[in-house]
Amino acid sequence: MQITYIGHATLLLEIAGVRVLTDPNFEPKLGRFLPRVTAPGLEIDALPKLDALLLTHAHADHLSFKSLDKLDPAEFPNDIFICGGAQIYEQALPRCSDLYLTLIKREVEGGDAFFPPFEDKFKLVEELRDTPEFKILHYRHKSLGK
C-alpha cells in the first residue's frame, strides 16, 4: 500500500494496484476563504489514472467541485459511486448518469440525510430488489434515453 499526501484531506491511496483519490481539492484556498499552508503536493494534471473517488462529505475544505470538474469521468475504468449526505448528493446529481437508490422500509431515529429531489431529471429503469427491509431501484438520467 502507498499513500500520497496531496494536501488537507486529499490523499492518493494505492492498494493492490487500485488507485483511490479522497476528497479532491486542488484549489489555492480551502473552502474559498482559508489559504493553504502549502500548495498541493501533486498537481491535478499529474494524477495517475484513477479507479475510484472517495468523497467523505461536502464541506468546502474537503470537496471542491472546481477540482472535481477537472477530473474527466471518461478516464475512469469503472463506474463512480457516490455515498454521502444530502449536500454531496445534491451537488453530484448533475454529473450522474444513473442512480441506484436503496429505500429503507422503516423510520430511522436520528437519521438526517435526505436525498434531494431528482424525479424531474431521472426515470425509473428497474427495481433490482424488493425485500421486507429495503428496496433497491435503478434510475437513469432522462437525457440518456434508454
pLDDT tens for each residue of 101-125 = 888 888 878 766 678 889 999 999 9
Runs of H (alpha helix) within 31-146: 65-70, 86-92
pTM for the model: 0.64
What are 99's strand-pairing partners? 139
User: Given pLDDT bands bounded at 50, 70 and 90, which one contains residue 13?
Assistant: very high
For residue 63 the three cell numbers come to 470537496
Higher pLDDT, 84 or 14: 14
6 burial (CB, 10 Å; 0-12 / 13-18 / 19+) is buried
pLDDT tens for each residue of 61-97 = 767 777 777 776 666 666 666 766 777 778 778 778 8
Q: How many CA atoms lie within 13 A of 111 on its CB side?
A: 10
